[in-house]
Amino acid sequence: MLTPNDKLSFGKNKGVELKLVYKFQPSYIEWAILNIPSFIINILEFEKLPNPYTISL
């Protein structure tokens, strides 16, 4: 089970801590949850994080 301090082992954010990906690209975390069966997060740990940023263009 992945925590916010774990680092991604794949993709464009490989090596980046999940808490940073969640902060700036929460949709990437959502994509991984929906598309990678082994990508399981500890939701209680993520709920402790501040809300992610959203960027409107």
Q: Supply the pLDDT for residue 42.
A: 97
Strand partners, 2: 41
| Domain membership of residue 20 as a residue range | 1-57
Encode pLDDT of 6-51 as tens digits.
999 999 999 999 999 999 999 999 999 999 999 999 999 999 999 8
Q: What is the CA radius of gyration of the chain?
A: 11
Number of structural domains found in the chain: 1
Q: Supply the pLDDT for residue 56.
A: 65
Q: Supply the pLDDT for residue 57.
A: 64
Q: What is the pTM of this model?
A: 0.85
Q: Supply the pLDDT for residue 52.
A: 87
